[in-house]
Amino acid sequence: MKWGLLLALGVFVILISCKDNSTEPEAIKEKVLKTEEVIFFSSDRDGKAKNIFMMSSKGSLIKQITKYTWGEYAATAISPDKNQLLFYQAAPGLDIDVGMDIYIYKIKEDSIIGPITQGHPGNFSPDGKMFVFHRHTFTTDGGFESVYLYDLTKNTEKRISEEGKTSFYAQISPDGKFICYESSSLRNVPVFWQLHLMDVNGNFITDLTDAINSYWAGNGVFTPDSKSVLFHYSNWVQGYEICKVDIVSKQIKRLTKIVAPYFNYWNPSISTFSNTIYFYGKRFDEKTRKYYTQICACDIEGANFNVILSDSFWNSHPIADKVSYYIYK
């Protein structure tokens, strides 16, 4: 009886001990696949660097994509399969459009590949197997920018623009026939930057804009039908606006209008899902000595102008389309 009581007491102590030392299992998070139009944009809202974030087309923040503590990062294109985001790094303090290292973000996998090569990326080829980019070549008189094609299947690159002639901010047309790019008639002098067309082998086709009509026409991107190019534009008097030029007629249409408080509009992109044009506005306040930015949108004809995001952070370089991604609940 005595030994039985002691044995029962020992078992009870062991059971209590096991219960006290056990831990409750963590709540299992549900992995949910969502498909919607989203906007990737650059922002300094994490207080560490200008990283890339993702938000809904209505402006609600979804998640932070890059989490670097150094540099400035901006996206330039979404692949035809809607699962790859092309982006680049720029050194802090320099113009974020300069570009240094090129990366790819796998949207569904939530993973980053790269750096792949050095330069400033444009967009993907229609089959998604290549992307266009430009890189600076240093020479004794300063150097020049050249346009390259990078083959993702072979991990090789090929220069296609003329050596010694500055050609940069290139974009391949959705039909794969043309490349629009920016160039200056005066090398290394920031005036007379205009848009031009060449074929995918680097052969010059035509000028899209000229210095008679604009002081600076840059950052061109094709519309989904490959018939027009969106770009930011400035004449000799006003600031920067978003325009569209027909590649055949060369007719230019202004899609935005600069009004108080005088935001300048930059870096247009277009969603192949909604045909919505996204761009960012920025202005410098002389009183506070600070820049203020907005993420904006309008339709293909310039109507329905909308400010999607406007806060105290630097927000720029929006790229949008309908993609599939995972979130955890």
Helices H / strands E in the chain, number of each: 1, 24
User: How far apart, in whole angstroms, are the C-alpha atoms of residue 174 and residue 126?
Assistant: 6
Q: How many CB atoms lie within 10 A of CB 37?
A: 16
Q: CATH homologous superfamily of domain 28-328?
A: TolB, C-terminal domain (2.120.10.30)
- Residue-level pLDDT at 212: 66
The CA-based dihedral angle spanning residues 221, 223, 226, 232, taken in that order and rounded to the nearest 10 degrees: -40
Q: Residue-wise pLDDT tens for the chain (329 aa)?
A: 444 444 444 444 444 444 444 455 566 678 899 999 999 999 999 998 999 999 999 999 999 999 999 889 999 999 999 999 999 998 766 666 667 899 999 999 999 999 999 999 999 999 999 999 999 887 777 778 899 999 999 999 999 998 878 888 999 999 999 999 998 755 444 457 899 999 999 999 999 998 665 678 889 999 999 999 999 988 765 688 999 999 999 999 999 986 656 788 999 999 999 999 999 999 888 888 888 999 999 999 999 999 999 998 999 999 999 999 999 88
pTM greater than the 0.85 cutoff: yes
| Domain spans, the chain | 28-328
- Residue-level pLDDT at 8: 46
The answer to whether the CB of 313 falls within 8 A of the CB of 48 is no
